Amino acid sequence: MPEPIDRLRAPHHIWGEVSDGWRLVDQPGLSVVEERVPAGAGEEWHVHARARQFFYVTEGEAVMRTAEGDVALAPGRGTEIPAGLPHQIFNQGPGDVRFLVISAPSTRGDRAAVAPPPPRGEGPTGTD
C-alpha cells in the first residue's frame, strides 16, 4: 500500500550552502524534490543530458534563467526545462521561495556545471 510522504519523512539535503531539498520521490525513472531557496540565492548554471524537468512554485517568487531567456515564476506557475538546456533557478524576491522539481529520469549522475550564457544583446557581434 502506498505511504504518504512529506518533508518530515523525506531525506533532507542542503545545497548551495543555504538552500534545502527534500527527496519526496527518488527512483531512477522519476525524481520529485521539494526545495527552499532563501532571498538572493540560487543554483549554479548547469545542464542535464538526459533528464527533463518541471519546476512548480508553491510559495514566493523565482526566476528560471535559461540560455533561451528568463521565465518569472510566481505561486501556481511552473515551467518545463528540456534535457540539454542550460538553466539556473534564482530567488530575486524578498523572502523564501519553495518549489517542486519533477525530473524524468532522475538527475542523479546527470548534471554538469556550465558557464552562464552572455547577457542578451552582448553576443560576439554586440547585436543579438
Query: What confidence tens digit (pLDDT) does each residue in 19-75 have?
Result: 999 999 999 999 999 999 999 999 999 999 999 999 999 999 999 999 999 999 999
**What's the pLDDT score for residue 118?**
87
User: What span, in angstroms and rounded, lies between the C-alpha atoms of 4 and 16?
Assistant: 28
pLDDT-based confidence at residue 116 (cuts at 50, 70, 90): very high
Q: Which three cell numbers stand for residue 6?
A: 512529506
CATH number of 12-110: 2.60.120.10
Give whole-number Cα distances, 9 to 24, 58, 81, 97, 100, in Å.
8, 19, 28, 21, 16
User: What span, in angstroms and rounded, lies between the C-alpha atoms of 97 and 78?
Assistant: 13
Q: What are the domain boundaries of the chain? A: 12-110
10-14, 52-56, 85-89, 120-124: segment of lowest average pLDDT:
120-124
Average pLDDT over residues 4-27: 95
The chain-wide mean pLDDT, for the chain, equals 93
Radius of gyration of the chain (CA): 15
φ/ψ of residue 94, rounded to 5: -85, -15
**What's the pLDDT score for residue 121?**
63
Give whole-number Cα distances, 14 to 9, 43, 49, 115, 120, in Å.
16, 12, 23, 22, 32
**What's the pLDDT score for residue 35?**
98
User: What span, in angstroms and rounded, lies between the C-alpha atoms of 21 and 36?
Assistant: 7
User: What span, in angstroms and rounded, lies between the C-alpha atoms of 57 and 77?
Assistant: 6
User: What span, in angstroms and rounded, lies between the C-alpha atoms of 104 and 1?
Assistant: 23
